[in-house]
């Protein structure tokens, strides 16, 4: 079984998942996802992370093929999330003498998930592990995006094993290195992956990036997506920008609409944005577009305009769900506009205003409320809201 050598005596032994429809049982996977694992051969043999238990058979066969009869000396666990740690128990059964390398938080989870408490080698910030010609170094990266996360660095080959950081959705369809594939789809999916999975943890990501800035890194081996080499700087810049919540000039319009009246308001706002020079406008009907993609655009663009009919004296349920997901991620520094509609009693504007206050976002323009059908004065108010957002974006 062939395995890609991605650096001197460093082999890719990860797997592709084209079966799962929802990552974390939440986020769509139209192009699947990879679970990446890496095997280093030196005087000692070192495996970095495992894979989801659903693919343990393929993974163990690939690992055994690269080892070619050698024992497995170390397993480094950079991240304990089950899509990367799921095969640890089976790996230990196959290689009972393997020593598991991790930090104290790793070992608490290792016992909780797998009941493993022996054969452990604890490392702390800056510790090293001599494995022959290489001296691996360890850097703690808590809350990127779990508390036990750490990075492993190989100074000899200048390779960083980054756990989920710099990961993306999408299977690796033949090529493993970014030099072997078209990277545009992966960079796009990196935006969605970050917004869905890492988005809440901007400050920890920034701390990790500052720590990494002192290292000479030529290759990044993440646990999802391609190995970054030629386009490494692009991948890092995506994480840097998103973790600083620096949106591009543009607006996401997210709205719910039962019978089309609120949608007409959204159309008028979008028209005004375009008329006033905003080219990046994305409109999402929350009943049709999965929140995964809307979150991506909320992280991508500086402006968000939300619209909702009043539904049982509340927000439209799918829009309320989206706003909850945004709030959980603590997205910062967004410009916010909002609009709503009702037939006999309006409540949506009050609830959208409360959301903006909780987020500490700047509200732009006058909120627009429509009773029943769209009338000329309401239409003009929608145009004014779109213009106000465009003008504010142009000021920045």
- Opening angle at CA 136, ends 112 and 87, nearest 5: 30
Q: Which CATH superfamily is domain 5-243 in?
A: Ribonuclease Z/Hydroxyacylglutathione hydrolase-like (3.60.15.10)
Which H helix or E strand runs over 263? helix 261-275
CA of residue 106 relative to chain centroid, distance: 21
Residue 230 has a pLDDT of 97
What CA–CA distances, in Å, run from 81 to 35, 143, 373?
A: 11, 12, 50
pLDDT at 2: 81
What percent of the residues of the chain are helix, what percent strand, and what percent coil, each to the nearest 5?
Answer: 35, 25, 40
Task: Evaluate whether 331 touches 363 at the Cβ level (below 8 Å).
Answer: no
Q: Is 254 in contact with 336 (CB distance < 8 Å)?
A: no
Q: Any idea which residue has 């920008």 for tokens? A: 241
Tens of pLDDT, residue by residue, the chain (396 residues): 788 999 999 999 999 999 999 999 999 999 999 999 999 999 999 999 999 999 999 999 999 999 999 999 999 999 999 999 999 999 999 999 999 999 999 999 999 999 999 999 999 999 999 999 999 999 999 999 999 999 999 999 999 999 999 999 999 999 999 999 999 999 999 999 999 999 999 999 999 999 999 999 999 999 999 999 999 999 999 999 999 999 999 999 999 999 999 999 999 999 999 999 999 999 999 999 999 999 999 999 999 999 999 999 999 999 999 999 999 999 999 999 999 998 898 889 999 999 999 999 999 999 999 989 889 999 999 999 999 999 999 998
Q: What is the pTM of this model?
A: 0.95
Reduced 3-state DSSP string for 297-345: HHHHEEEEEEEEEEECCEECHHHHHHHHHHHHCCCCCCEEEEEEEECCC
Tell me if residue 196 falls in helix, strand or coil: helix
Structure tokens that stand for 122 in this block: 């604890």
Residues 172 and 32 sit within 8 Å (Cβ to Cβ): no
Report domain 248-395's class. Answer: alpha beta
Residue 9 confidence (pLDDT): 97
Other CB atoms closer than 10 Å to residue 279's CB: what's the count? 8
Q: Map residue 396 onto helix, strand or coil.
A: coil
Domain with CATH 3.60.15.10 in the chain: 5-243
Q: What is the secondary structure of 138-157 as a DSSP string? A: EEE-TTSSSTT-EEEEETTT
Q: Which of the 8 DSSP states describes residue 228?
A: B
Helices (H), 164-226: 184-193, 202-212
Q: Where in the chain is the domain with CATH 3.40.50.360?
A: 248-395
């Amino acid at each position: 079984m062939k395995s890609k050598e991605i650096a001197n005596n460093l082999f890719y032994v990860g797997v592709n998942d084209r079966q799962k429809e929802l990552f974390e049982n939440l986020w769509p996977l139209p192009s699947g996802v990879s679970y990446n694992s890496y095997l280093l051969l030196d005087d000692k043999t070192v495996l970095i992370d495992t894979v989801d238990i659903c693919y343990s058979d393929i993974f163990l066969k690939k690992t055994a093929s690269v080892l070619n009869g050698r024992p497995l000396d170390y397993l480094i666990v950079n991240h304990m999330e089950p899509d990367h740690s799921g095969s640890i128990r089976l790996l230990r059964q196959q290689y009972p003498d393997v020593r598991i390398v991790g930090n104290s938080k790793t070992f608490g989870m290792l016992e909780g998930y797998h009941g493993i408490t022996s054969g452990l080698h604890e490392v702390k910030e800056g510790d090293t592990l001599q494995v022959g010609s290489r001296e691996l170094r360890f850097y703690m990266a808590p809350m990127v995006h779990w508390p036990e996360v750490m990075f492993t660095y190989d100074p000899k080959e200048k390779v960083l094993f980054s756990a989920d950081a710099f990961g993306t959705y999408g299977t690796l369809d033949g090529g493993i290195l970014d030099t072997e594939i078209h990277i545009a789809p992966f960079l796009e999916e990196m935006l969605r992956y970050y917004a869905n999975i890492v988005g809440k943890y901007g400050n920890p990501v920034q701390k990790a990036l500052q720590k990494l800035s002192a290292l000479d890194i030529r290759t990044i081996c993440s646990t999802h997506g391609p190995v970054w080499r030629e386009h490494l700087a692009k991948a890092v810049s995506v994480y840097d920008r998103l973790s600083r919540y620096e949106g591009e000039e543009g607006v996401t319009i997210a709205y719910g609409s039962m019978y089309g009246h609120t949608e007409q308001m959204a159309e008028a706002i979008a028209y005004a944005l375009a008329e006033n020079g905003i080219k990046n406008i994305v409109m999402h009907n929350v009943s049709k577009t999965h929140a995964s993609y809307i979150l991506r655009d909320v992280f991508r663009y500086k402006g968000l305009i939300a619209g909702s009919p009043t539904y049982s004296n509340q927000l439209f349920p799918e829009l309320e769900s989206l706003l909850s997901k945004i709030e959980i991620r603590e997205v910062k520094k967004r410009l916010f506009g909002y609009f709503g509609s009702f037939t006999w009693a309006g409540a949506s504007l009050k609830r959208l205003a409360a959301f903006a206050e909780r987020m500490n976002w700047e509200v732009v323009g006058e909120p627009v409320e429509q009773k029943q059908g769209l009338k000329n004065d309401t239409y003009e108010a929608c145009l004014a809201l779109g213009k106000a957002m465009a003008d504010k974006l142009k000021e920045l």
